[in-house]
Amino acid sequence: MTILIKNATVLDLNRFAAVESDILIEGDRISKIGVDFEVKEKENLKVIDGRNKVALPGLINGHTHVAMTLFRGASDDLPLMDWLNNVIWPSESRLTGEDVYWGSLLGIVEMIKSGTTTFCDMYFFMDEVAHAVEQSGIRAVLSRGMVALDPANGEKGLKESVDFIKNWQGKANGRITTALAPHAPYTCPPEFLRDVIVEAKRLNVPINIHISETLDEISIIKERYGTTPVRHLESLGLFEVKTIGAHLVHVDDEEIQILKRYQVGAIHNPQSNMKLASGIAPVVKMLEAGVLVGLGTDGAASNNDLDMIEELRAASYLQKVSNMNPEALNAKTSIAMATSLGARALGLTEIGLLQEGYKADIILLNTNETNFYPRHNIFNLIAYSAKGADVDTVIVDGEIIMEKRQLTRLDEEKIKFEANKRGLKLVAG
């Protein structure tokens, strides 16, 4: 189908400008942005009225565990290690593939409705997550999380990961890409990580891993290996593979230089870090050093939602208060972290900008709500006043997957019903 968005306010994140223009989408790509251009296709043309709407690249959720929506609100107000060991991991041991499928759909609906068009996931029963992605029309980088404290479990995880990558890499017209996901340096011993690095090079996929999330992790790594997580992973050669590192809360200046040198994608999850009291990542310092910093929500059980508009605002406010500087992490930078910079952090080169030739992953925010008036500065309005519910239309890969807040592919009521039933049962035991 050919889609023409007429008279929208289009965000150009290369120049950080907002321009009144039309956008033409042919197939899965943006073919033209401008005014008064001729459209040849007349028959199969869908025209969207862009007045009172701002078009921006679809938001990129750089780190989540999407099916963890099933555990949302089941257990809150705990530190990470207690939360994982005593609540989440026992409940996860009862999960079935079908549960993960419905939980993933619930999370995907939530993401689409708040403007996310790409997410990076680490979980298990990944075939089910991939089916949910395929059906929903969203884009995703998917990885099977591997915990190797018990070597047999690590081996099983690696085998499943390799099969998953072979089956799904590039599927759904390229909407699905894959990664290898050793869970964290404290759950994956060096010998296992070495095997993962070899496989990642052989399969040419990135590595997705939690790094330096809490001070507990820092103590564990210090005790076991006499160093810090980033140095430990560097010495193993892990960063020779394109790495997507979630959290990176506790990193010193020298580690920031390591992250920069290897172009590690550092995914900042401010709300999860605040809620689990993990700490405050030195985002301003990382950005100044030239690290590719993206943004993520983490799972819905530690956030507790998957709304990237909220997340980018939280990122900005957290840096302002921790640096005691209101100029820190300004509106444009936090929007870039959720879009163009986030794409680069994940190693995705065809999304994150509204630019001719790029994949057509576009969201339209309805700017006709009171929170968008007066129209002083659209970047400030998006970063500090917009809400997930202002997302009106979502296009991924050239297809409209939500129009006027109605999902075109998914049955939202059925998804809520199934996910609720399954989530309650899993946590009750």
Ligand X SMILES: N[C@@H](CCSC[C@H]1O[C@@H](n2cnc3c(=O)[nH]cnc32)[C@H](O)[C@@H]1O)C(=O)O
* Chain residues that interact with Zn ion, rule: CB under 5 A: 298
Tell whether 160 is in a known binding site.
no
Query: What part of residues 54-83 is at the interface with ligand X (CB under 6 A)?
Result: 65, 80
Helix (H, G, I), strand (E, B) or coil at 369: coil
Residue 359 lies near ligand X (rule: CB under 6 A): no
Report in angstroms how near the CB of residue 157 gets to ligand X at its nearest.
Answer: 5
Residue 80 or 419: which CB sits closer to ligand X? Answer: 80
CA atoms within 13 A on the CB side of 70: 32
Determine the distance from the C-alpha atom of residue 243 to the mean position of all C-alpha atoms in its chain, rounded to a whole number: 14
Q: What share of the chain is helix, strand, coil (3-state, %, to 5)?
A: 45, 25, 35
> If contact means CB under 5 to 8 A according to the sort of partner, which of Zn ion, ligand X, none does residue 175 touch?
none
- Quick note: the x/- pattern for ligand X over 86-125, rule CB under 6 A, is --x---x-----------------------------xxx-
Q: What is the dihedral of CA 335, 343, 137, 102, to 10 degrees?
A: -80
d(CA 58, CA 372): 19
Distance CA 312, CA 385 (A): 11
Backbone angles phi, psi at 358, to 5 degrees: -75, 160
CB of 302 to ligand X, least distance (A): 6
- In angstroms, what is the minimal distance from the CB of 227 to Zn ion? 22
Place of tokens 């969203």: 138
- The nearer residue to ligand X, 65 or 113, going by C-beta atoms, is 65
Closer to Zn ion by Cβ: residue 92 or 298: 298
Answer positive or negative: Cα dihedral of 137, 143, 145, 146. Answer: positive
Using CB under 6 A, count the residues that bind ligand X.
Answer: 21
Residue type, 113: K
Closest residue to ligand X, judged by C-beta, is 145
Q: How far is the CB of 205 from Zn ion (least distance, A)?
A: 19
Whole-number Cα distances in Å, 202 to 86, 180, 195, 198, 233: 37, 11, 11, 6, 19
Using Cβ positions, the residue closest to Zn ion within the complex turns out to be 298
Element (H, E) at 8: strand 2-12
Q: Is beta strand 292-295 parallel, antiparallel or unpaired with respect to 265-268? A: parallel
**What SS3 class is residue 260?**
helix
Out of 107, 115, 145, 182, point to the residue binding ligand X (CB under 6 A).
145
Identity at 102, one-letter amino acid code? W
Half-sphere exposure of 23 (CA within 13 A, CB side): 36
Nearer to ligand X, 21 or 271 (CB): 271
Candidate segments 105-113, 167-175, 298-306, 415-423, binder of ligand X by CB under 6 A = 298-306
Annotation-wise, does 298 bind a ligand?
Answer: yes
State in angstroms the smallest separation of the CB of 365 from ligand X. Answer: 29
* Positions that interact with ligand X (CB under 6 A): 65, 80, 84, 88, 92, 122-124, 145-147, 153, 157, 183-184, 210, 213, 272, 298-299, 302
Residues flagged as binding site for Zn(2+): 63, 65, 210, 298
Residues flagged as binding site: 63, 65, 92, 144, 183, 210, 213, 298
Residues flagged as binding site for substrate: 92, 144, 183, 213, 298
